[in-house]
C-alpha cells in the first residue's frame, strides 16, 4: 500500500487542495482532501496515455530533414522509412523501444498504445516465434515500467485495389488468418507483464486492410481497442474514394460500428459531415500534431469536432520528438494559425490548457483501453506531478498551472510519474535512463553508420 500527497490536484470535480491518495495493487483506492503532509508533490494530475506510436521510427528522427530532388512529402519520407527498417533486428527494436519508453515517461506519459506493424524478418521471413517483435516491445515495457497497450497491426496489401505488398512492406504483411495466429502469439508474449497491460488490434488503414480483415481483427476480442490510420493524406482519401466509393471516415461510419472502442488516427482530411459523424459515433480522434506537422499532413478540424462533442487524445506517432506539452501546444497553435484566432479549442470561460489536458487524459485512456485518465477510486494510479517551484509555474494555481505548463513551459517541470502505481520517474528522471541511453546510442550509431 502506498500513500501519496499533493498540495493541489486535479480531481474529476475540479481542483482540490491538500489531497491524499491511497494506492493498492496499482489502483487508487481512496482519495481524501484537506490532508496536509510533509513531502507532498506540488501539483498532481491524472497522467496521459500516449495513444499512438511506432517506436522504431525514433531511431530515424533527424535523418529526413533535408530536401531531396523534387518536392519532399509524406511519401518520400515513407520510402526512407522502409529503407531504414530493413536493417532493424529484434535486438535493435528492443533497444529503441526502451529509449522511447524512458523519454515518454519523462515527458509525463504513464502508458503508450504501440501501433506495432514490424512483425517479420527481412523479406517477410517469419521468426521462429511469430510474435518475436511483440516480445521485444514487452521486454522494454517490463524494463521501463511504462504501461503498454499493444496493438499488433494487420497489414494485408499494398493498396485498396488489392495489389501485392511492395518490397518495403514485406516485414509487415499477414493474411487475416496469419494475423489471428500472430495475435494469439502476442497474447503469450505479454503474459509476464503487469495486470494493467492491454492487447488490442490495429487494422493498419483502409489502404492496407480489407473489409473482411478489419472484421476479423475487430472480432478477435470484442472488448479490446481497435485503432486504424485514417485520412492522413489527400492521396489516400482519393484512393479510398475511387476504390471503395466513399471517403475513409465516411466508409467507416457507414460500414463499421464506430464507438468508443475505436480510435481513428490522424483523421486530418475530413469533410464537415465526417467530422461531425465521427464525433457523434463516440470514437476517439488520435491526434499526433508534432508528426502531422513534420510530415506536412494538414490540420485537424478541431474546432468543429470539439463543438460536436468529439473525444480526442494525443500520440507521438513517428516519435521525431517526444513531448506531451509540445503535442498539446501544437494542437492548439495549429488551430490558431489556420483560423487566425486565439483560444480556439476552449469554449467561453474555459482554460485552453485545461480543455487540452483533461481531454487528452480522458480520450487517451479510452483509446488505450485503460481505466485511467482521472484521479478516481478504482482507476489505475496513472499519475503525473509537476514541480511548481521554478519560474514558469511559481505563481500559478488551478487551471493556470496547465496553461503555463503547456504554453509557457515544457517537460522539464514534469517531476514524478506513476504508471499503475509504479513510480517510474522521480525528480524528472527515469531510473533506467543511463543504461537504456547507453544501449540506444550504440544501436543507433550502428544503424545510421550502415545507411
Binding site for Zn ion (CB under 5 A): 317
Sheet with 262-266: list strands edge to edge: 226-230, 262-266, 284-287, 311-314
Q: How many helices (H) and strands (E) does the chain have?
A: 14, 17
State which residue, 216 or 320, has the beta carbon closest to Zn ion.
320
What is the Cα–Cα distance from 252 to 319, expressed in whole angstroms?
27
User: For 132-157, b where at least 16 C-beta lie within 10 A, e where not — what string?
Assistant: bbbbbbbbbbbbbbbbbbbbbbbbbb
With CB atoms as reference, the residue minimizing the distance to Zn ion is 317
State which residue, 317 or 382, has the beta carbon closest to Zn ion.
317
State which residue, 205 or 325, has the beta carbon closest to Zn ion.
205
Looking at 86-233, list the stretches that DSSP marks H as alpha helix, in order from N- to C-terminal side.
90-107, 132-144, 176-189, 211-219
Residue 157, SS3? coil
Rounded to a whole number of angstroms, the minimum distance from the CB of residue 83 to Zn ion is 18
Distance of CA 432 to the CA centre of its chain: 21
Residue 266 known to be catalytic: yes
Rounded to a whole number of angstroms, the minimum distance from the CB of residue 286 to Zn ion is 8
* CA-based nearest residue to 91, from 127, 52, 53, 145: 127
Residue 295, SS3? coil
Rounded to a whole number of angstroms, the minimum distance from the CB of residue 204 to Zn ion is 9
Catalytic residue of the set 54, 266, 301, 430: 266
DSSP assignment of 260-285, as one string? TTEEEEE--S--HHHHHHHHHHTPEE
Catalytic residue of the set 317, 382, 392, 399: 317
Give the C-alpha distances (Å, rounded to integers) separating 48 from 254, 299, 368, 372: 31, 22, 10, 8
Residue 238 known to be catalytic: no
Rounded to a whole number of angstroms, the minimum distance from the CB of residue 269 to Zn ion is 15
Neighbours of 63 (CB within 10 A): 16
State which residue, 274 or 317, has the beta carbon closest to Zn ion.
317
Residue 18, SS3? strand
Rounded to a whole number of angstroms, the minimum distance from the CB of residue 282 to Zn ion is 22
Query: Largest Cα–Cα distance of the chain, in whole Å?
Result: 64
Rounded to a whole number of angstroms, the minimum distance from the CB of residue 213 to Zn ion is 18
What is the Cα–Cα distance from 143 to 432, expressed in whole angstroms?
8
Residue 51, SS3? strand
State which residue, 317 or 399, has the beta carbon closest to Zn ion.
317
The C-alpha cell that represents 171 in the structure block:
516485414
Rounded to a whole number of angstroms, the minimum distance from the CB of residue 54 to Zn ion is 6
Rounded to a whole number of angstroms, the minimum distance from the CB of residue 343 to Zn ion is 29
What is the Cα–Cα distance from 239 to 167, expressed in whole angstroms?
20
State which residue, 265 or 406, has the beta carbon closest to Zn ion.
265
Rounded to a whole number of angstroms, the minimum distance from the CB of residue 266 to Zn ion is 7
What is the Cα–Cα distance from 367 to 364, expressed in whole angstroms?
5
Neighbours of 100 (CB within 10 A): 29
What is the Cα–Cα distance from 335 to 301, expressed in whole angstroms?
8
State which residue, 317 or 327, has the beta carbon closest to Zn ion.
317
State which residue, 40 or 295, has the beta carbon closest to Zn ion.
295
* Angle between helix 433-450 and helix 90-107 axes, rounded to 10 deg: 130
* Residue 153 near residue 115 (C-beta atoms within 8 A): yes
Angle, alpha carbons 245-223-371 (nearest 5°): 115
State which residue, 317 or 332, has the beta carbon closest to Zn ion.
317
Catalytic center residues: 266, 317
Amino acid at each position: 500500500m502506498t500513500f501519496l500527497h499533493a498540495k493541489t490536484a486535479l480531481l474529476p470535480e475540479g481542483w482540490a487542495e491538500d489531497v491524499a491518495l491511497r494506492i493498492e495493487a496499482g489502483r487508487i483506492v481512496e482519495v481524501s482532501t484537506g490532508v496536509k503532509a510533509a513531502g507532498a508533490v506540488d501539483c498532481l494530475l491524472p497522467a496521459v496515455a500516449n495513444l499512438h506510436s511506432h517506436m522504431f521510427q525514433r531511431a530515424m528522427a533527424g535523418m529526413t530533414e533535408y530536401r531531396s530532388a523534387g518536392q519532399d512529402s509524406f511519401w518520400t519520407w515513407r520510402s526512407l522509412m522502409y529503407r531504414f527498417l530493413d536493417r532493424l533486428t529484434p535486438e535493435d527494436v528492443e533497444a529503441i523501444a526502451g529509449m522511447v519508453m524512458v523519454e515518454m515517461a519523462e515527458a509525463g506519459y504513464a502508458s503508450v498504445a504501440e501501433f506495432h506493424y514490424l512483425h517479420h524478418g527481412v523479406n517477410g521471413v517469419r521468426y521462429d516465434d511469430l510474435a518475436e517483435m511483440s516480445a521485444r516491445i514487452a521486454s522494454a515495457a517490463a524494463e521501463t515500467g511504462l504501461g503498454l497497450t499493444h496493438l499488433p497491426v494487420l497489414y494485408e496489401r499494398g493498396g485498396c485495389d488489392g495489389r501485392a505488398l511492395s518490397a518495403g512492406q514485406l516485414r509487415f504483411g499477414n493474411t487475416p488468418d496469419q494475423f489471428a495466429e500472430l495475435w494469439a502469439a502476442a497474447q503469450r508474449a505479454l503474459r509476464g507483464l503487469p495486470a494493467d497491460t492491454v492487447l488490442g488490434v490495429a487494422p493498419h488503414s483502409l489502404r492496407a486492410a480489407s473489409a473482411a480483415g478489419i472484421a476479423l481483427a475487430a472480432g478477435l476480442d470484442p472488448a479490446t481497442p481497435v485503432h486504424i490510420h485514417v485520412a492522413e493524406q489527400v492521396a489516400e482519401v482519393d484512393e479510398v474514394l475511387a476504390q471503395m466509393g466513399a471517403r475513409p471516415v465516411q466508409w467507416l461510419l457507414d460500414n463499421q460500428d464506430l464507438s468508443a472502442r475505436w480510435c481513428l488516427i490522424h483523421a486530418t482530411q475530413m469533410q464537415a459531415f465526417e467530422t461531425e459523424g465521427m464525433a457523434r459515433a463516440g470514437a476517439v480522434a488520435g491526434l499526433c500534431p508534432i508528426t502531422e506537422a513534420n510530415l506536412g499532413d494538414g490540420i485537424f478540424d478541431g474546432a468543429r469536432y470539439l463543438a460536436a462533442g468529439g473525444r480526442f487524445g494525443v500520440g507521438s506517432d513517428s516519435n521525431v520528438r517526444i513531448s506531451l506539452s509540445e503535442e498539446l501546444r501544437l494542437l492548439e497553435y495549429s488551430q490558431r494559425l489556420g483560423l487566425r484566432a486565439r483560444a480556439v479549442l476552449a469554449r467561453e470561460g474555459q482554460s485552453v490548457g485545461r480543455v487540452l489536458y483533461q481531454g487528452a487524459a480522458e480520450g487517451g485512456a479510452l483509446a488505450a483501453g485503460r481505466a485511467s485518465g482521472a484521479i478516481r477510486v478504482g482507476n489505475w494510479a496513472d499519475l503525473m506531478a509537476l514541480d511548481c517551484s521554478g519560474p514558469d509555474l511559481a505563481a500559478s494555481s488551478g487551471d493556470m498551472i496547465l496553461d503555463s505548463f503547456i504554453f509557457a513551459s515544457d517537460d522539464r517541470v514534469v517531476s514524478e510519474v506513476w504508471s499503475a502505481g509504479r513510480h517510474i520517474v522521480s525528480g524528472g528522471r527515469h531510473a533506467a535512463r543511463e543504461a537504456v541511453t547507453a544501449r540506444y546510442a550504440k544501436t543507433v550509431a550502428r544503424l545510421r553508420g550502415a545507411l
